[in-house]
Amino acid sequence: MASKIIGKIKVDDCDLEKDIKYLNSVTKQPEEYDEFGQGYWKNLSLYNASGDASDTQYRNTDKCLPTEYATQCPSIQKLVQQHFKLDNLKMIRARSLVDGLVIPHRDFVELDKKITYFRVFVALEKNEEAFHSDEHGVFQMKTGEVWFLDAGISHAAVNFGLKSRMFLCLDFMYEGEFEYTDIFTDRSVLEDYRSSFYISRKPFINSQKEELISATSKILDRFTFKDVVFALSKYHFIYDLPVSSCYDWIISAAEQKNNIEIIKKAKSLRKYLIEKRDMDERYSINDWNI
């Protein structure tokens, strides 16, 4: 399902500046799935199963408890309680991406297929240099917009600038039928939001692809592999390309070079990020013991 706007909150009424300043001051800690990101990418657990701010694992639970980070953010707590039903809510994170990229990947591939995972993003501040993407296109989340992000399909995010880009990420779980409106306490958030949001991108012709693969093959080895992955992951934000094109290009470049080690590595990366992985499985781009 394509990502889309499902509501809009008047965040100017929430006095979020102090909360955002506090969240930006919190030191980034190692966390689950750090391997997806480059640059400054921080996820802070505001609500989770344990109430422990250092617990970054997303999982099915019957509890969604505020952490010490949430208690320091009264305006964000008020926003959440005022606009969202806590039933079926499993986790809330504050996400900041600065001068960085989250490479194309799919979430939930290791979780129970009988449950519907419903992920919602709320943009807390304006940033014209930050973009998201999925299999349907590239878009910007504007301040106060409530987005359904289908994390079960390939998606990515980038901030080309140096300014903060703070979002709330709310994860809901449902068994059986449900309507997205079930997450809201107030139906007024369903009014007055954009229905058109995909940005226009430059065309990318087949000869450009062939040139890019050829050029990549000349520099691709185990020492440049990670840099190449992140560089090629940015192309779809600029050019009209599928979100996960980069992995196919890297495999083609490795095959063109006839480098068996890189071919194996590139295929294992694509499998882990967008095809299949096991619960608690981890992957390091710089680990060549595969």
Concatenated DSSP letters of 99-133: EEEEEEE-SSTTS-TTSEEEEEEEE-S--TTEEEE
- Reported as a single tens digit per residue, the pLDDT across 34-81 is 667 888 888 999 999 899 998 887 777 778 899 999 999 999 999 999
Residues of the chain with CATH 1.10.1720.10: 206-275
Residues of the chain with CATH 2.60.120.330: 4-190
**pLDDT at 279 exceeding the cut of 70:** no
Which fold is adopted by the domain 4-190?
Jelly Rolls (2.60.120)
* pLDDT at residue 75, as a whole number: 97
Q: Are 29 and 44 in contact (CB under 8 A)?
A: no
**pLDDT at 2 exceeding the cut of 90:** no
- Reported as a single tens digit per residue, the pLDDT across 226-256 is 999 999 999 999 999 999 999 999 999 999 9
* pLDDT at residue 108, as a whole number: 60
- Reported as a single tens digit per residue, the pLDDT across 157-198 is 999 999 999 999 999 988 878 888 989 998 888 888 888 899
* CA separation, residue 252 to residues 58, 217, 221, 230, 236 (Å): 34, 8, 13, 16, 17
**pLDDT at 146 exceeding the cut of 90:** yes
Architecture of domain 206-275: Orthogonal Bundle (1.10)
Nearest to 70 by CA among 55, 85, 60: 55
pTM value > 0.85: yes
Higher pLDDT, 117 or 98: 98
With vertex at residue 235, the alpha carbon angle to CA 218 and CA 154, rounded to the nearest 5 degrees, is: 110
Q: How many CB atoms lie within 10 A of CB 91?
A: 22
- Amino acid sitting at position 2: A
Largest Cα span, the chain: 59
